[in-house]
Structure 1
Amino acid sequence: MRFFGLKTCDTCRKALKSLQAAGFTPEIIDVRADGVSAADLAKIVDEFGEKAINRASTTWRGLSDEEKSGAPLALLAAHPTLMKRPVIEADGVWTIGWKADAQAVHLGE
């Protein structure tokens, strides 16, 4: 299991705590500190398209209109913190966010 998130993100901390309590030990990739490989970014955009971009983020609000009109892959490559978080990959299954649907996939709830 791989966990893409930010150390400072409350949702990421909550998700990680739940996963660890359920017995998982995910490989944690901090999108700001560690970066995200081009292959992983491409897969995330393939899986989620526009939904991979967190349009409520401080980073998004700081972009120009021209930057906002860019392709999701280019935006995430330039600004990894724009990624909606957490993104979790487990056995080839990808989820984004930590709502009931993602929890059901990873925790069986």
Structure 2
Amino acid sequence: MVTIYGIKNCDTVRKTLKWFEAKGIENKLHDFRADGIDAKTIEAWLDEVRGKVLINKRGPSYRNLGDDDKATLEQGGAAAAAVLAANPTVIKRPVVDFGSTRTVAYDEERWSELAGL
């Protein structure tokens, strides 16, 4: 089963869910707002994909962060994961978890490859 992390009212997350459903790939949505997200999970994502990929610096959630939090995000590690856990809307969406691999952002080509389509 593929887990799609994001926010249910995000257009890109909705588009992602429709894509997986259309391909017949079993999936579930993990909504950051409703279900939360723990810092350990985010820290593992940061180790795997790096902050430049995971952090959405273009959105209002990032712009609304304080300078100290932004500096912490630049440093990475557990402290950055804690900031993201407290502000999950700063995470670029969707994060798609295939079990052994994660992707960030909308990427039909990569998903097809990982799903063996």
- Cα RMSD, aligned residues only: 1.9
Q: Does 1:102 align with 2:110?
A: yes
- For the 8 Å contact 1:19–1:107, the answer to whether it is kept is no
TM-score (norm 1): 0.86
- For the 8 Å contact 1:59–1:82, the answer to whether it is kept is yes
Percent of aligned pairs with the same amino acid: 34
Taking the aligned partners of 2:98 and 2:111, their CA distance within structure 1 comes to 12
Q: 97-106 or 29-38: which moved more? A: 97-106
Q: 91-100 or 12-21: which moved more? A: 91-100
| 2:93 maps to which of 67, 78, 85 | 85
Q: Does 1:73 align with 2:81?
A: yes
- The size of the alignment, in residue pairs, is 109
Matches within 5 A, 1:1-109: 1-50=2-51, 51-71=53-73, 72-106=80-114
Deviations 1:51-89 (A, max 9, x none): 211101111111122221113313212201111110011
Structure 2 segments unaligned to the other structure (5+ residues): 74-79
Structure 1 segments unaligned to the other structure (5+ residues): none
TM-score (norm 2): 0.81
Displacement, 1:45? 1.1
Q: What secondary structure does 1:27 align onto? A: strand
Higher helix fraction: Structure 1 or Structure 2? 2
